Structure 1
């Protein structure tokens, strides 16, 4: 049995110098949702109560002409082990396995960590202190993650991967402080808080009428592919949640930048404001609403994050203006339900939740003030008992 079919699926907008994984498929229906693909990692979430992966056979979709190979040196082979398939599956579930993707022109390579996560007990926690972070080894931006029962869950995403292009073309220094989304030692508790800052994207961004980048942080994934052509599709909001949320609470401070501008860098006569909200939606309904199997997705995007029919509840900060003091301010945001929720379906992970934070409320339309800063700490989702 061949455990992995190393295939390539043509993606029209991709260039032959790209070395990216754009999709993952399994012969059997074992995954709960679309793979979460970041710049150098692919996370695959198993459906609840899937325990036998002896027949797992996965196919990778790559950018045109690219090839992929297993980095066998990343495997920890027990002495005397003959069953390579079992070793790979065990490592996928434990630490992850590295694969190398090589571009069609053989000039570029990228190593991906592929990891499979069990979801029997849920994997989106209810409390976030933003203490667990990592630094991307290539582009040096901050990555937020959560530790649950000894496992690292990369549930948080941001626009940092696309901002690295701004730094590359503009001659900026790739270090954590250069990016819109990072950490701050000015924390409500512990040693870290999440700091989101609206920044200029330089001449390259202005050329595409995307002159600013708001600092953002959200539960889900970020796809760099459509950043220039359809940036609202780059944000993939939401991951499965097995509890019914009642309130989103936490602590924040916000200082808006001096001058709000639009996509043409023309002044806008208003004050900048931040945004903090959470969306609870019926993921099964969302996927069932799309008749074309190739277009089914398990996440919301910037196009429908606040208006899709699958949404059953939203909790949102009403006034995101400057906080009155230098200290942290507590917010308590009740989830406002517009549809009934079945407890059994929630427990079965049929629903997903997204938490979204931004230093400029209309930053997705490239309206905001450079220098606006939002600091958030000690988030908590209060759930139904």
Structure 2
């Protein structure tokens, strides 16, 4: 009996060992976290998985001397250069990290970009095109990217891979120069309608889009703001707006006698952790804001010049972020609006005290 029991135990151990050996190595090769000493940061590090970029917001000393970030990777993956090694920003090309999966079959190269907002003035003359999903996004003159939109999330909904199929795109209908930003409220896709999203409002905002939240918590996926220094005085720019013909609620039901309107605003807030669509108007970290008071139809380019209103008792100091947010449907974050509403933006500027 003992001999039989031992044989069974040996057989089970052999089977278990075989199962362990046969388990495939992890094929994933992502940078999951990229940690920098907070004293050198003006804003949160953001890992843009869709474009394989690490976006850094560094203070001048760190930019000059370099940093030694600590990385965590998907289990079993390796990275070159190693976590904890110093990287520098003096070369003609930005630093890169190459991550190799545990299986050795897959590799990803991440580019490290230092993001700095310069003049706080935008004409939307230069645009980039996402390689895979074919949506457009504004690009700074130096090639950096400080603007985002809902386009990356909409790309997950089965939309056609064509710039014209997305709510944010470039237009040559401009107030000056040859380009401007067009935001259009568009009909949802078959897949989005399955989860109750009947329309996509065109959006444009200073900040980043986190696709990890795009399906489970879409309002948290929009991370508003870029690091800012100074005291803002006015928010200016040009816009034209045409509301769509039929306003609808979240269920897609047409609401008679209701007309869509646009939203354009800027918000200054304290800290480096970005606010999102759930708290950009309500957070107790808000210092000052400038809201377009009337988002109704404007058939021709109209200039706005909105003074910042400061929250009583709050002053701009320490680490701060500035958000600029625009939407072709003011209630687009609640999936309400009119399909066909079109907002064109050009020549935006934050004017600061001297």
Give TM class, smaller chain: 0.7 to 0.9
Deviation for aligned residue 1:375: 0.2
User: Could you tell me which of 140, 143, 150 is aligned with 2:137?
Assistant: 143
Q: Any idea what the Cα deviations from partners look like across 1:228-280, whole Å, max 9, x if unmatched?
A: 11111101111111121111111111111112222222223421111000001
Q: Indicate whether 1:182 and 2:149 are aligned.
A: no
Distance in 2 (CA, whole Å) between partners of 1:211 and 1:19 is: 35
Q: Partner residue of 1:277?
A: 265
Q: Indicate whether 1:378 and 2:353 are aligned.
A: no
Deviation for aligned residue 1:203: 1.4
Q: Quote the RMSD (CA, aligned, Å).
A: 2.8
C-alpha contact (below 8 Å) 1:184/1:195 kept by paired residues: yes
- Give runs of aligned pairs for residues 1-385 of structure 1, distance below 5 A: 20-26=30-36, 29-38=39-48, 39-40=50-51, 41-50=53-62, 53=65, 56-62=67-73, 64-65=74-75, 67=77, 69-70=79-80, 88-90=87-89, 94-101=92-99, 110-117=108-115, 123-147=117-141, 151-166=142-157, 169=158, 172=160, 174-269=161-256, 270-283=258-271, 298-323=273-298, 325=299, 327-340=300-313, 342=315, 345=317, 350-385=319-354
Unaligned runs of 5+ in 2: 1-25
Q: Partner residue of 1:7?
A: none
Distance in 1 (CA, whole Å) between partners of 2:223 and 2:332 is: 16
Q: 1:340 to 1:130 in 2, by over 3 A?
A: farther
Q: Which has the larger radius of gyration?
A: 2
Deviation for aligned residue 1:187: 0.5
C-alpha contact (below 8 Å) 1:206/1:264 kept by paired residues: no
Three-state SS of the structure 1 residue aligned to 2:153 is: helix
Q: Any idea what the Cα deviations from partners look like across 1:304-329, whole Å, max 9, x if unmatched?
A: 10111111111111111111x3x211
Distance in 1 (CA, whole Å) between partners of 2:309 and 2:248 is: 32
Q: 1:301 to 1:107 in 2, by over 3 A?
A: farther
Deviation for aligned residue 1:158: 0.7
Q: TM-score, normalized by length of structure 2?
A: 0.82
C-alpha contact (below 8 Å) 2:28/2:77 kept by paired residues: no
Unaligned runs of 5+ in 1: 1-15, 72-84, 284-296
Distance in 2 (CA, whole Å) between partners of 1:230 and 1:68 is: 31
Distance in 2 (CA, whole Å) between partners of 1:250 and 1:195 is: 14
C-alpha contact (below 8 Å) 2:77/2:99 kept by paired residues: yes
Distance in 2 (CA, whole Å) between partners of 1:50 and 1:247 is: 31
Three-state SS of the structure 1 residue aligned to 2:152 is: helix
Distance in 2 (CA, whole Å) between partners of 1:109 and 1:226 is: 24
Distance in 2 (CA, whole Å) between partners of 1:27 and 1:332 is: 39
C-alpha contact (below 8 Å) 1:37/1:221 kept by paired residues: no
Three-state SS of the structure 2 residue aligned to 1:250 is: strand
Paired residues, what number?
324
Deviation for aligned residue 1:342: 4.7
Q: 1:28 to 1:253 in 2, by over 3 A?
A: closer
